[in-house]
């Protein structure tokens, strides 16, 4: 499959030491030959593959030097896209990068669409769809564990398992076809029945194991939406700063200092938290603060984890008890802060209101209790030690949905064969399961859906 030649900046925009402009396609070498001038004056199309060359880029229309560069040349199919690839390393200034990109575009390249390099790797058969999606997961990984999960998927761990399960289903479908074509042979029917139960049960068990990793895998990929709530001046912003290990939020003794929702990613024992510090929830006449309070109530509904902060040196108030009511049934950790001050809060009442939620005492001013809090967060969502290197984790929402549907079809097939349903009707459920699993790796998927997936990638990847 041959495409036109595309180009894009593959490094983040902004000032930096270097930037990379990448070209991929059949005209990548002819384009670089038009604009590259090196010490040896040789064409880069004649250079050995996977080599890098110092030189300058010149605009052939004006003969003016555009940039001083290092150019890498890589011949397909031993490249990311399986096409000829040229990577131009230039200075990382905004103007210089723009000039280099405009120059290669003026020589016949087309500006790449978001994710188009990875899309070509998929379309040219270098990687399957699940591996392509893992490329973006790797880029977006917030913790080492999330990165390991993405690496395993990018290396094909999930797709290898999916292909194996599809092959198991295919073997059953082949026996069913024999049974349908030769109904006069009783031993074929008996063998088909036995194989169907055995193979379908095996596939069902493997899909069940995958789905059991889905909750942890999705947390590793997307992070836990974690909301810090509490009355004003109980230490919510101090908690944010303690977890982030940086002064991200303003901390004062004046109630109502936080007027808006503050978001920050933080790594807690390998668990990525999308941490949200909210305005103190209370009744107020201040219009700006009231807007912040309403935002706080809104983000509360979308949270995966609630960190409810109370004041150790104050008695429980009606507002505190209302907060307990608001988070009823949600995953929450109760933090009783300011233990460096004299106790006025009724801890027994706090534990009664908390129910099954852990209660942690802290003095954020003196950095006490943070380790216990981090341990509680990890224990709440990960039972035991998470070993991302030992398991194939499901982390992608699309994959989770497809595997759930595929397992449902397998279960229907098992129930049908146990109920002596005609074998050709059982075949429908098995075929559907095989197709759903194929959508994960891109074997049976519409072009429009593929385009939609790759449009979510960053430009230049």
3-state secondary structure of 229: strand
CA dist., res. 81 & res. 460, Å (int)? 12
Do 457 and 112 meet the contact criterion of CB atoms below 8 Å apart? no
Whole-number pLDDT of residue 388: 44
Is the sign of the CA dihedral 308, 313, 315, 317 positive or negative? negative
Whole-number pLDDT of residue 149: 76
Question: 214-233 as b/e, with b when 16 or more CB fall inside 10 Å?
Answer: bebbbbbbbbbbbbbbbbbb
Whole-number pLDDT of residue 53: 94
Whole-number pLDDT of residue 341: 92
Tell me, which fold does domain 131-213+393-454 have in CATH?
Answer: 1.20.120
Which residues are registered as beta bridge partners of 332? 306
Model-level pTM greater than 0.85? no
CATH code for the structural domain at 223-381? 3.40.50.300
- pLDDT < 70 stretches in the chain: 1-2, 41, 178-192, 245-263, 277-299, 382-393, 444-461
Model pLDDT for residues 303-341, shown as the tens digit of each residue: 788 899 999 999 999 888 888 888 888 889 999 999 999
Whole-number pLDDT of residue 241: 81
Q: What is the rounded average pLDDT for all residues in the chain?
A: 81
Q: Where are the alpha helices (DSSP H) in 182-317?
A: 186-212, 214-222, 236-244, 287-300
Tell me, which fold does domain 6-112 have in CATH?
Answer: Gyrase A; domain 2 (3.30.1360)
Residue 145 contacts by C-beta under 8 Å, 6 or more apart in sequence?
A: 220, 270, 271, 386, 388
Burial class, 284, CB count within 10 angstroms (exposed 0-12 / middle 13-18 / buried 19+):
middle
- Which residues belong to CATH 3.40.50.300 in the chain? 223-381
Please count the other Cβ atoms lying within 10 Å of the Cβ belonging to residue 207. 23
Residue 387 contacts by C-beta under 8 Å, 6 or more apart in sequence?
A: none
Place of tokens 């761990």: 157
- Which residues belong to CATH 3.30.1360.120 in the chain? 6-112
Whole-number pLDDT of residue 386: 45
Nearest to 145 by CA among 434, 382, 430: 382
Do 281 and 296 meet the contact criterion of CB atoms below 8 Å apart? yes
Burial class, 383, CB count within 10 angstroms (exposed 0-12 / middle 13-18 / buried 19+):
exposed
CA dist., res. 87 & res. 70, Å (int)? 8
Structure tokens at 441: 């790796």
């Amino acid at each position: 499959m041959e495409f036109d030649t595309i180009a894009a900046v593959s490094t983040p925009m902004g000032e930096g030491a270097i930037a990379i402009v990448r070209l991929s396609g059949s005209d990548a070498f002819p384009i670089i030959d038009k604009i590259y001038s090196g010490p040896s004056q040789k064409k880069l199309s004649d250079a050995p593959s996977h080599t890098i060359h110092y030189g300058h880029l010149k605009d052939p229309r004006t003969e003016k030097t555009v940039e001083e560069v290092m150019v890498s040349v890589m011949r397909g199919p031993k490249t990311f896209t399986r096409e000829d690839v040229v990577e131009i390393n230039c200075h990382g200034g905004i103007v210089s990068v723009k000039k280099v990109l405009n120059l290669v575009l003026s020589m016949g390249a087309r500006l790449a669409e978001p994710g188009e390099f990875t899309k070509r790797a998929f379309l040219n058969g270098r990687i399957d769809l699940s591996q392509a999606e893992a490329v973006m997961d790797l880029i977006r990984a917030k913790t080492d564990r999330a990165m390991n999960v993405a690496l395993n998927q990018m290396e094909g761990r999930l797709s290898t398992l999916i292909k194996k399960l599809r092959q198991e289903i295919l073997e059953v479908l082949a026996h069913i076809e024999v049974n349908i074509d030769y109904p006069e042979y009783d031993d074929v029917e008996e063998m088909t029945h036995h194989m169907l139960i055995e193979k379908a049960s095996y596939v069902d068990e493997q899909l069940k194991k995958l789905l059991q990793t889905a909750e942890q895998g999705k947390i590793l990929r997307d992070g836990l939406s974690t909301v810090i709530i509490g009355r004003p001046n109980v230490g919510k912003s101090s908690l944010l700063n303690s977890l982030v290990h940086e002064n991200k939020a303003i901390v004062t003794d004046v109630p109502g200092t936080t007027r808006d929702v503050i978001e920050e990613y933080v790594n807690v024992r390998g668990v990525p938290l999308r941490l949200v510090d909210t305005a103190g929830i209370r009744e107020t006449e201040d219009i700006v603060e009231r807007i912040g309070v309403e935002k706080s109530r809104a983000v509360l509904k979308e949270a995966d984890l609630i960190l409810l902060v109370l004041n150790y040196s104050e008695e429980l108030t009606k507002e505190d008890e209302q907060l307990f009511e608001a988070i009823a049934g949600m995953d929450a950790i109760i933090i009783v802060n300011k233990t460096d001050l004299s106790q006025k809060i009724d801890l027994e009442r706090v534990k009664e209101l908390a129910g099954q939620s852990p209660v942690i005492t802290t003095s954020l001013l003196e950095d006490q209790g943070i380790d216990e809090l981090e341990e509680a967060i990890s224990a709440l969502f990960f039972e035991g030690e998470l070993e991302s290197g030992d398991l194939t984790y499901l982390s992608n929402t699309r994959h989770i949905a497809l595997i759930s549907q595929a397992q449902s079809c397998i279960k229907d097939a098992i129930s049908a064969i146990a109920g002596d349903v005609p074998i050709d009707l059982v075949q429908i459920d098995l075929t559907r399961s095989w197709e759903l699993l194929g959508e994960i790796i891109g074997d049976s998927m519409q072009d429009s859906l593929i385009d939609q997936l790759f449009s979510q990638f960053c430009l230049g990847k």
